[in-house]
Structure 1
């Protein structure tokens, strides 16, 4: 495709294909999974629309594997039995990079399905980061920060109102080059489709109105641990709280559609007997989802910068997850349940190297954020965890630098993988 825009996942997918027989590329609908996988596939079979392929799967499934490899099975979850067939084909051929599976929802657990461990690798895709859409210079490498490097480079020239507009539009490939009005309509339609079609297809008694209210309730809880009782009450409204089991089913559906991506709590060894929070912090996979669920846009967010800051946190987390995944790092949050002290993000490498991040829209808040990071670093048991590779404040500002206290300040519009 001549108009394909490069993704951070491109190099990760190529590497994974060199190490495994098949790769599952998953993520929400409309994030570009099929386009990315198609760049390296020689054959594409669309299991959701190709009736002949579905018929062959029932009568003579071996035919599906006669095409030139790598073969892409798009929307494979429409025919879950394909999973075991791919696994078996990998075993029989004994080669790498044979098959790709893309899908927008996880099928229910099936005891007849083999895990695929050792045969089928996994790659998660999300909506596009600012670096991928061309709204970040990418001069400051997240990987380099975790190696202790000083941040150098120039941020893309986006003002705070322009960054807020990017939050409203989101990272959806279909919205590249679109303005806010068109984007708001697109995302609103996306949510209605999820509520009216995708979630009800997953099981009985899935009320579309309740799903839309759940989106709004989660949007109001963005950046904070969401209590089930609060969500149940907000969804039920004047009728009273919905049942706990019903809420669990709704949340499971959004998780299977990969639209929510809570940030788990990091529970490090501390120097004191600090009681740490264990409840995940709620975030959507893209900030535009929560903003659309609330029915607001740039104008409203500019009038309520505190709320805008919470959705800015979701924007930054989307980008950090995308960049960190490329080098196998994990993201967590930290909060002292006794004092309320918290750090927005802790990124940890497989070898135990870690760095802490605070997210603030305004550069003027860097002093407070830096003090919070330094306080946090002093409480960690460094005999067990070592010193942090970096303490970083991510802002919506223009300047990249190391403060006198050692804390780094990095604009999100300068950050890249």
Structure 2
């Protein structure tokens, strides 16, 4: 098992809440994490037909078995009625860390938690592996193209499965098992096309009308489906920062997949070598770095503090980290391996507007050098610790 950075926060939440919920995309490692952290709790998989039938038919008696011992309930959203009965138990039994809830259908999980268990459950989001985690485990690929193609789901590092086989099965599982239960997705084949069109827009500002037209759906349906992917934690929408410096700003968010391998597969990329001069390479690399920042936040139990900045003239900063409430830390992201002074052009422009200093300005690039330049710091993608302090 690759040690997860979220383990420390998970233990902390279990000391303060009677129940803790671990949410995240399917196959992100939720079950492995909770079973390793809470080996003393009975593990109950509610996808097992017999177990689920008992829980559905007699939820009160089902939960009574675990009122004293507590339990890990995996895929708990499969039996929604349990949440109401669990509320009563949590009100009677206030001992922290008794129940650990996991599930892959985050839209159903969060709906039930907000209705029945608000204030009683600590929540942590678990995305696929971070580069920091795989580096610590000694399984970091030699090139970032291999990460962009192979992705960061734990199974691709724990078994010899080929990435294309993993992602083909993953997409079918997500669509067939999760989405068909939702009324807002009637046409699953159209939704799969929609996911592919989203992948081709990785790292881009969303144009809802263009996305809808390419998929043959309405503008409102495109918004609903994007919201569904976002709630599933398969994508993240990075919002523009509101600081305008008397400039007109764009208002639409940028789209990133939380795993670059999934986006690469949906885009039809066949192997890591295809990424050498692929037009999506820059967007996928940007996704990799942005989600690395996001994992730092989520693993600490915090929400995103990431934005981007772009004015109507086209000046843009790929990532703005909102630090300590009001400080803004600019980060540019470049997939090139050869350092160039052009990397700092937008940073210098933004610093001129904001008054930010070069020592708090960063360019993350595809190389391995760490250089302090007059406009900011150049940092290799595997050595981003100087930026992590603004995220933790």
Report if the CA contact (8 A) 2:55-2:82 is conserved.
no
Distance across 2 between alignment mates of 1:197 and 1:47: 14
The equivalent residue for 2:148 is 167
The equivalent residue for 2:365 is 395
The equivalent residue for 1:144 is none
- The one of 360, 368, 393 equivalent to 2:342 is 368
Q: Aligned-pair distance for 1:193?
A: 2.8
Q: TM-score, normalised by structure 1?
A: 0.82
1:377/1:247 CA distance change after superposition, 3 Å: same
- The one of 314, 318, 325 equivalent to 1:340 is 314
The equivalent residue for 1:267 is 242
The equivalent residue for 1:87 is 87
State yes or no: 1:410 paired with 2:390. Answer: no
State yes or no: 1:233 paired with 2:213. Answer: yes
Residues 208-262 of structure 1 show CA distances to partners (whole Å, capped at 9, x for unaligned) of 32122111111111111121211122113xxxxx233433443343234221111
Q: Aligned-pair distance for 1:350?
A: 5.0
1:79/1:350 CA distance change after superposition, 3 Å: farther
Report if the CA contact (8 A) 2:52-2:79 is conserved.
no
The equivalent residue for 1:129 is 130
Report if the CA contact (8 A) 1:353-1:389 is conserved.
no
Residues 111-138 of structure 1 show CA distances to partners (whole Å, capped at 9, x for unaligned) of 996363321111001111112122798x
The equivalent residue for 2:30 is 33
- The one of 255, 271, 279 equivalent to 2:230 is 255
Distance across 1 between alignment mates of 2:170 and 2:7: 25
RMSD over aligned Cα, in angstroms? 2.8
Q: How does 1:191-230 map to 2 (within 5 A)?
A: 191-203=171-183, 206-230=186-210
- Equivalenced residue count is 380
Distance across 1 between alignment mates of 2:341 and 2:61: 63
Report if the CA contact (8 A) 1:399-1:411 is conserved.
yes
1:245/1:367 CA distance change after superposition, 3 Å: same
Q: Aligned-pair distance for 1:30?
A: 0.3
Report if the CA contact (8 A) 1:355-1:391 is conserved.
yes
Q: Partner of 1:190: helix, strand, or coil?
A: helix
The equivalent residue for 1:64 is 63
1:404/1:103 CA distance change after superposition, 3 Å: same
The equivalent residue for 1:142 is none
Distance across 1 between alignment mates of 2:377 and 2:359: 11
Distance across 2 between alignment mates of 1:358 and 1:342: 9
1:78/1:367 CA distance change after superposition, 3 Å: same
Report if the CA contact (8 A) 1:40-1:70 is conserved.
no
State yes or no: 1:356 paired with 2:330. Answer: yes
Distance across 2 between alignment mates of 1:205 and 1:415: 39
Between 1 and 2, higher relative CO (CA 8 Å, sep ≥ 6) is seen in 1
The equivalent residue for 2:275 is 301
Q: Partner of 1:114: helix, strand, or coil?
A: helix
Unaligned runs of 5+ in 1: 138-155, 237-241
The equivalent residue for 2:169 is 189
Residues 266-287 of structure 1 show CA distances to partners (whole Å, capped at 9, x for unaligned) of 212x4x3111222110011111
State yes or no: 1:316 paired with 2:289. Answer: yes
- The one of 17, 20, 25 equivalent to 2:17 is 20
- The one of 219, 243, 251 equivalent to 1:244 is 219
Q: Aligned-pair distance for 1:60?
A: 4.6
Report if the CA contact (8 A) 2:22-2:103 is conserved.
yes
Q: Aligned-pair distance for 1:169?
A: 0.8
Q: Partner of 1:212: helix, strand, or coil?
A: helix
Distance across 1 between alignment mates of 2:205 and 2:182: 26
Q: TM-score, normalised by structure 2?
A: 0.87
Report if the CA contact (8 A) 1:87-1:120 is conserved.
no
